[in-house]
Chain A
């Protein structure tokens, strides 16, 4: 899953980026509001972590602009402003959540998970499809009770597929959400990873979950 951080304090942006990447997320950082607005508008993100006191275009205005342009990426506001009025203003301008600094990183992670499950009936900590269970906390994957070991990238790829169950995901989309902006789209890394994933979760089983849609991309089919 791909996350945009809009935060001007370099040290803060750094540790959030590092922490999120280690959880398997792809992360982009914008150090001011204008850059943040540009990235949010042109790239596909699954969630945005937004600080309010940023230069050039402040957080609240940025949020309002995005919503006005029907960009509905879930946003969590992260800020030192903690008054009730600030919270109300933040949530009313279109953000989904509000977290004050200083904060526990664990909490940020949990809230991001909540953001990611918005719109689906999945629980924030587990993704299930047929007999496949993905535990987002422990990063364990099991199918029919049997544990399957995946690499970080495979895990995130599977997560992305399941979160968009029944939707066809193009290679571009997969590249944008599972890898970060530095990804070189000319390679066939995606196909390689899909194959590896297939081998691990579908091979030897009757019900194949991962589907290839010719000329369009991949998807995963199943029920919860």
Chain B
């Protein structure tokens, strides 16, 4: 459960519920308000209409009276207390009788003149008679009438002062019970209140479902990936058609798997190669000692056995050392000790070290260099690279021969070229010579373990340089190492 609460599924669902819930709530409230307003407005209009109708009737009645009086040559002044007016009002009220509406006509001072028959009680003229006099406007009010203790009647009243010559002549008040309106609104409210939670539940279910659907490709991928890591690295995640974010993720993941797969394969090979390489010295150690122990031997014989074993042990140590160097270089673990290194000086030293070896095979060593070049690098490692290649050159050159090293300085790099007149390298072997344990002659009697060039390449790469070789069988080989030279500000 905890896992679910923290999931995107849950969060998305919450968001959906919140947003949709708000939307639904707002819609409900709007609907209610709209309804309320409309109903009230309609009611108000009805009241106003009624009041005007009453006024109309009174007016027309008054007009008739006026004509009569004119004919009779009587006074024509409006008399609110006159019998004519009273008749007019009575007529108007009766004429406009309405079950639901309560009609009243008042004196300007607030005294009730007449009320419609359906009013057993009287409603006071609204107490804002002062305002009426001052503003002479129609007023809408809501009054609460107590019918009996705990029983109330809500009335909406429309109070219309009839103005004549700037003075209020009389006041018409039309009232209506708000009960039915309230009932209608109450019904609506009930419905909304009932519907809202249902809607929320529906939203919750839908949201859960929708988000689950949206996230199911992610879930599927997770399942597929889980399968891969537990079984093998050859499998790939299925790209299900759609060109969307998920399929892009799957693609990227597959690429990563491919990289991992080949990286693992490389590692596997290395481990196998190492184990294989160790077999030979172990065979020697085991065999020589087993045979030696078969019977009692002379001290000299034992010494020989021990010496042979020591030789093999040294070979194994070399192998282990070289492998560690290689591993560190490739892991970028090796922190190169960068110093300014004088290449010319270094090469001269290497050549003088190799002279004895070269002389034995009548190989002449040459060094061509216009000017000494200084590069930033790890002296020991660079020395190793150059020594290794020169050593190979001498070993693979039959007598008599020549090994020459040239140093070229360029704009921002330096090139070290080592050329020999040796047996050369076949074109099919050429791309592989920098591979680990690769030896051109697959038997072990060729020198070393085949790690030298591999290490050389790693070191050169670590210095951000490049190493290349050109060669043909019987025509010698040329190795070229290019190292970057940083521009010294104070050059």
Contact = CB atoms under 8 A, between A and B. Distances in A.
Q: Is the interface of B mostly helix, strand, loop or mixed?
A: helix
B298 to A, nearest CB: 13
B287 A15 contact: yes
Contacts of B446: 55
Interface stretch (A101-109, A118-126, A131-139): A101-109
Interface stretch (B63-71, B115-123, B427-435, B437-445): B437-445
A8 B443 contact: yes
Given A80-B280, A101-B279, A102-B286, A8 B445 contact: yes
B22 interface: no
Contacts of A19: 287, 290-291, 294
A12 B280 contact: yes
A18 interface: yes
B283 interface: yes
Interface in B246-293: 276, 279-280, 282-288, 290-291
A53 interface: yes
A9 interface: yes
Given A11-B308, A15-B288, A103 B283 contact: yes
Given A9-B444, A9-B445, A101-B280, A106 B290 contact: yes
Contacts of B443: 8, 32, 53-55, 58
Contact of A53 (B291, B312, B442): B442
Contact of A12 (B287, B290, B295, B311): B287
Q: Is the interface of A mostly helix, strand, loop or mixed?
A: loop
Contacts of B442: 53, 58
A31 to B, nearest CB: 8
A105 B290 contact: yes
Nearest to B293: A105
Contacts of A146: none
Nearest to B443: A55
A47 interface: no
Contacts of B276: 80-81
Contact of B283 (A12, A18, A22, A55): A12
Given A55-B441, A55-B443, A9 B280 contact: yes
Interface in A9-57: 9, 11-12, 14-16, 18-19, 22, 31-32, 53-55
A196 B288 CA distance: 34
A217 B392 CA distance: 56
Interface in B278-333: 279-280, 282-288, 290-291, 294-295, 308, 311-312
Interface in B53-82: none
Contact of B295 (A16, A22, A32, A81): A22
A105 B279 CA distance: 15
Q: Name which of A14, A15, A19, A53 has the most chain B CB atoms within 10 A of its CB.
A: A15
B291 A15 contact: yes
A6 to B, nearest CB: 11
A9 B444 CA distance: 7
Nearest to A83: B272
A105 B288 CA distance: 9
A8 B444 CA distance: 8
A105 B283 CA distance: 10
A76 to B, nearest CB: 15
Contacts of A16: 287
A179 B287 CA distance: 24
A104 to B, nearest CB: 7
B279 A80 contact: yes
A11 B284 contact: yes
Contacts of B284: 9, 11-12, 15
A18 B288 CA distance: 9
Nearest to A59: B443
B283 A102 contact: yes
A58 B444 CA distance: 12
B426 to A, nearest CB: 15
Contacts of B290: 15, 19, 104-106
Contacts of A102: 279, 282-283, 285-287
Contact of B286 (A53, A55, A80, A104): A104
Contacts of A101: 279-280, 282-283
A15 B293 CA distance: 12
CB-CB nearest 7 A-B residue pairs: A80-B279, A19-B291, A101-B283, A105-B290, A102-B283, A55-B443, A15-B287
5 contacts: A9-B280, A12-B280, A12-B287, A15-B290, A102-B287
Given A9-B283, A12-B283, 4 more contacts: A9-B280, A11-B312, A55-B445, A102-B285
